[in-house]
């Protein structure tokens, strides 16, 4: 598994996609946080990264999908999946290696934004007057959310040998689970059904963890969500055997 | 016995790809697995190497069940799939190093060096796979199958698409390998079989139609291998 993990990381670094993804993420979050009129840190006058944490889940939908679209679809297209799966390594190890490699890349992108956190801390008055709990909670939330997106991305990549199809289906599924379910909670005629449905959405749990209270139920939800989609991916892997 | 296949079948929907086949390959043999396109050659090889499971039946490789102990079997089998899939953006050495890791070789550096030597990849070893000619790519595919010094080699059409010189070189490499390993190779080119194999297994529409020593097969039918192949694989189609 370690060998495959290393190869995946190397192929990220060898292709432009890793740099583009990290660059785009930093530029977009930076723009929204500091420059876009009306909602930036200076307009709001609050020393928090809330603007970034609000927008990041949407940016990540696109970026995580872009990172994962290649991972299995391309192995299928090239036929190398047959080589991988006839080496002494189990299907689930292949999936986990690809999953951890993608997560590593995203975690790195998230880590780079801690520069913003440092800046905010220095801008606050008095210096250091920042809600660290909420900030750490939000970072953890983003990481867990990325894990969910990655598992969706891998699943989408496994059902096709076309990267564009993988990218689009991953974005649609991710958007559905993050946004659409949570919107249903606001539909008045759906009433309590809508609210129950929104509980299944990612945004509900992300918002909850972003407040800085790490509730085990949320963590279990994110973990379970990721496991379910990785499980689906394995099912697709095994479908060649049916 | 190196490879033993018992009542092996593969059924896709209603289509029978491999129908209840049985054969045995002794240690150290080079066996040609012949058949027209779509006869079930690749399917059989995919089942032995654990890519797909059989619909029924099974068998062993060096005494290990290739369905139940697939992971163990993969450790002693070197497999070159049809069409030789590779990563064009990787360097040869990088690719072989990666494959050596996946194959769980003890010393991957030595393994890569040996495989490059055996497949005579030396002069091209610093290139990217995407820059190689088809002949060299095929050698990379073969090198990948040799890294973990497998006891059994399963090669699916190792010479398809090569020019005559490359075919001859590939034959030499495989013949050398056959001195110490069991080799099962599929092809539909008769000259190749005559040049490399001691034994022939012919398959047509999922059924084995011949399984004999090459010389005996020819003397029994009193004609060339090509004629035998035509007779055995075409008569089913004639109306």
Question: Does A194 score more than 70 pLDDT?
Answer: yes
- Name the residue among B71, B81, B98 with its Cβ closest to that of A88: B71
Q: Please check whether residue B87 touches A, CB under 8 A.
A: yes
Instruction: Let me know if residue A241 belongs to a domain.
Output: no
Complex-level ipTM beyond the 0.90 threshold: no
The three-state (H, E, C) secondary structure of A36-94, written as one string: CCCCCHHHHCCCCCHHHHHHHHHHHHHHHHHHHHHHHHHHHHHCHHHHHCCCCCCHHHH
Do residues B228 and B222 touch, judged by C-beta distance below 8 A?
no
pLDDT at residue B95, as a whole number: 92
Average per-residue pLDDT in chain A? 89
pLDDT at residue A155, as a whole number: 96
| Residue A161 DSSP label | S
Note down the domain range covering A12: 2-236
- Could you report the per-residue pLDDT of A126-162, keeping only the tens digit for each? 887 888 888 888 999 999 999 999 999 999 999 999 9
The separation between the first and the last C-alpha atoms of chain A, rounded to the nearest angstrom, is 25
Strands B3-12 and B15-25: antiparallel
Instruction: Let me know if residue A242 belongs to a domain.
Output: no
Instruction: Let me know if residue A195 belongs to a domain.
Output: yes
Instruction: Let me know if residue A75 belongs to a domain.
Output: yes
- Do residue A86 and residue B50 have CB atoms under 8 angstroms apart? yes
How many domains, in total, are found in chain A?
1
- Which domains, from first to last, does chain B contain? 75-234 (3.40.50.300)
Q: Please check whether residue A122 touches B, CB under 8 A.
A: no
- Do residue A86 and residue B144 have CB atoms under 8 angstroms apart? no
pLDDT at residue B236, as a whole number: 54
pLDDT at residue B80, as a whole number: 93
- Could you report the per-residue pLDDT of B34-49, keeping only the tens digit for each? 888 888 889 999 999 9
Total-model pTM:
0.89
- Could you report the per-residue pLDDT of B194-217, keeping only the tens digit for each? 888 888 998 888 888 888 888 888
pLDDT at residue B222, as a whole number: 79
The three-state (H, E, C) secondary structure of chain B, written as one string: CCEEEEEEEEEECCEEEEEEEEEEECCCCEEEEECCCCCCHHHHHHHHCCCCCCCEEEEEECCEECCCCHHHHHHHEEEECCCCCCCCCCEHHHHHHHHHHHCCCCCHHHHHHHHHHHCCCHHHCCCEHHHCCHHHHHHHHHHHHHCCCCCEEEEECCCCCCCHHHHHHHHHHHHHHCCCCEEEEEECCHHHHHHHCCEEEEEECCEEEEEEEHHHHHHHHCCCHHHHHHHHHHCCCCC
pLDDT at residue B239, as a whole number: 45
Q: Comparing A236-240, B17-21, B74-78, which segment has the lowest mean pLDDT? A: A236-240
Mean pLDDT of B94-122: 88
- CA A11 to chain B, closest CA, distance in angstroms equals 9
Question: Does A113 score more than 50 pLDDT?
Answer: yes
């Amino acid at each position: 598994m370690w060998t495959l993990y290393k190869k995946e990381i190397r192929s990220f670094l060898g292709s432009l996609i890793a740099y583009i993804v990290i660059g785009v993420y930093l530029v977009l979050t930076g723009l929204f946080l500091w420059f876009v009129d009306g909602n930036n840190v200076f307009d709001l006058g609050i020393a928090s990264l809330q603007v970034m944490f609000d927008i990041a889940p949407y940016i990540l939908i696109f970026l995580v999908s872009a990172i994962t679209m290649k991972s299995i679809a391309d192995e299928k297209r090239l036929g190398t999946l047959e080589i991988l799966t006839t080496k002494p390594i189990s299907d689930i190890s292949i999936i986990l290696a690809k999953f951890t490699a993608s997560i590593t890349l995203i975690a790195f992108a998230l880590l780079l934004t801690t520069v913003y956190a440092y800046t905010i801390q220095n801008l606050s008055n008095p210096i250091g007057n920042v809600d660290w709990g909420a900030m750490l909670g939000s970072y953890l939330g983003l990481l867990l959310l990325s894990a969910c997106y990655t598992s969706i991305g891998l699943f989408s990549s496994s059902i096709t040998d076309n990267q564009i199809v993988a990218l689009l289906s991953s974005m649609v599924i991710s958007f559905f689970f993050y946004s659409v379910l949570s919107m249903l909670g606001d539909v008045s005629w759906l009433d309590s059904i809508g609210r129950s449905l929104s509980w299944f959405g990612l945004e509900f749990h992300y918002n909850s963890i972003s407040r800085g209270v790490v509730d085990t139920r949320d963590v279990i939800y994110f973990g379970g969500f990721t496991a379910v989609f990785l499980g689906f991916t394995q099912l697709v892997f095994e479908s060649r055997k049916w | 016995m190196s490879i033993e296949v018992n009542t092996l079948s593969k059924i896709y929907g209603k289509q029978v790809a491999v129908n209840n086949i049985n054969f045995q390959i002794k240690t150290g043999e080079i066996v040609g697995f012949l058949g027209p396109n779509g006869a079930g050659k690749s399917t059989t090889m995919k089942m032995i190497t654990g890519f797909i499971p059989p619909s029924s039946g099974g068998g062993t490789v060096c005494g290990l069940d290739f369905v139940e102990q697939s992971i163990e079997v993969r450790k002693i089998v070197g497999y070159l799939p049809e069409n030789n899939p590779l990563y064009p953006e990787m360097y040869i050495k990088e690719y072989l190093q990666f494959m050596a890791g996946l194959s769980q070789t003890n010393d991957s550096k030595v393994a890569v060096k040996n495989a490059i030597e055996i497949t005579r990849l030396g002069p091209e070893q610093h290139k990217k796979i995407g820059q190689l000619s088809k002949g060299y790519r095929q050698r990379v595919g073969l090198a990948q199958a040799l890294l973990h010094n497998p006891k059994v080699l399963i090669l699916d059409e190792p010479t398809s698409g090569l020019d005559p010189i490359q075919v001859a070189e590939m034959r030499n490499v495989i013949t050398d390998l056959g001195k110490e390993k069991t080799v099962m190779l599929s092809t539909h080119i008769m000259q190749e079989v005559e040049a490399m194999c001691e034994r022939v297994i012919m398959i047509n529409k999922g059924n084995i139609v011949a399984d004999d020593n090459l010389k005996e097969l020819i003397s029994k039918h009193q004609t060339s291998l090509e004629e035998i192949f035509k007779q055995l694989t075409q008569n089913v189609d004639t109306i």
